[in-house]
Structure formats: C-alpha cells, structure tokens
Amino acid sequence: MSNRNTRSSRLLACEPSDPHDELRHKIKQAIGPRDMLEAMIADDLAYTNSFALDLGRAASDVVIAALPEALYAILNRYDLGVAGEERVSLVQNWLAGDPLARAMVAGLLKQIGLDESRIRADAIASRLPTLSDIESLRSSASSRRNKAVQDIVLWRRFQELQNGQTAKAGGVRAIKDLSNEAKDDN
C-alpha cells in the first residue's frame, strides 16, 4: 500500500493537480481519525471515493467520444440528403456546438421522428462493453467506500465496548455480539 498521507496524489511534479485533493482532505477531516487504524481506513475511504468519481467521469467521457460516430451513423443510415464531405463537416460542426449545425441536425432528426437524445442513446449502445466494465469498477469502488464507513463505525463501537466493559463480566460477550452484528450487516 502506498503512502497516501501527503495532501496530493500526484506522483510527478508535471502532473496536473488532482481535483479530488480537497475533497479527500474534507472526508478525512469529517471522519476525524482517532488512531492509526482509523487513519488508514479514512485514507482508503477518501481515495476510493475519488476513484469512484473518476470512473463516473470516465463513463461520461466514453459516451462523449462516441457521439460523432453515432451522429455520422444516423446520418448515414437514413437518406437525409447529406452525403460525403458535407456529412463529415456537419458532424464536426455539430460537435463544436455550431448553432447552425445543431439546428440542421435537429431538423434532420425531426424529419425521421427522432431528436438529439437518439444520438446519445446510439453512442451509449455502441460502447456498452466499456461502460459495463466501468460501471462494474465503480460499483466495486462504491462498495469498498461504504465498507470503509462501516469499518470505522464497527471499530469505534468495539473500542467503546472494550474501554467500558472489559473489566465487567459481560464485556467479552458484548464484543462477541458486536462481531456477530457486523457479520449480519454484511
């Protein structure tokens, strides 16, 4: 496990600053680790949360990258009177946000009973395997993040029981009950 106690996750000075550095710091502050174990769990939670956010952005980027191909395929699939270089130019201008190209694409799609949401839907459909892989990783990261929160709660409860009831006869039983409760939560 790498040492992530530094404020930045950058490995090289030439890397751009990490947009999640401040969020990770706030997460660690909110948890307020009481000992080394909690600090490790808080650190893992903060980085796992950042990873899940990055995966969400990656999924969005995959769809955005597929938009030109999806629009071109729609224009190619239907006989809309846009051919060859004009089609390529229209797609490029639409992607650049040109208002005339946007209006033309909207009008062409309307002729066949579609709207611009169809372009996004086709882009998503064309990248489903990649998006599925990203979602699987994101789900795993989210589960790991949620587990870290549960680990901190469980550790704090354990410490409270250990500190308050170790000398009492029921202390060991309470700790076992807590352990069984944690197993039931999973």
pLDDT digits (tens, 9 = 90+) for 91-101: 999 999 999 99
**pLDDT per residue as tens digits for the range 130-148:** 999 999 999 999 999 889 8
Neighbours of 145 (CB within 10 A): 19
pLDDT band at residue 1 under the 50/70/90 scheme: very low
**pLDDT per residue as tens digits for the range 14-35:** 666 677 788 888 888 888 888 8
Amino acid at 48: T
The pLDDT, as a whole number, for residue 84 is 86
Higher pLDDT residue, 129 or 12?
129
Task: Supply the mean pLDDT for the chain.
Answer: 84
Q: How far is CA 182 from CA 22, 80, 179, in A?
A: 31, 61, 5
Pick the range with the lowest mean pLDDT from 42-51, 147-156, 170-179. 170-179
The pLDDT, as a whole number, for residue 60 is 95
CB 151, CB 111: distance < 8 Å: no
pLDDT at residue 46 tops 90:
no
Higher pLDDT residue, 125 or 20?
125
pLDDT at residue 49 tops 80:
yes
Amino acid at 143: S
Query: What is the rounded average pLDDT of the residues 165-186?
Result: 56
pLDDT at residue 86 tops 50:
yes
Question: Residues 23-29: contacts with CB within 8 Å, 24+ apart?
Answer: 23/49, 23/50, 23/53, 24/49, 24/50
The pLDDT, as a whole number, for residue 167 is 47
The pLDDT, as a whole number, for residue 19 is 72
pLDDT band at residue 169 under the 50/70/90 scheme: very low
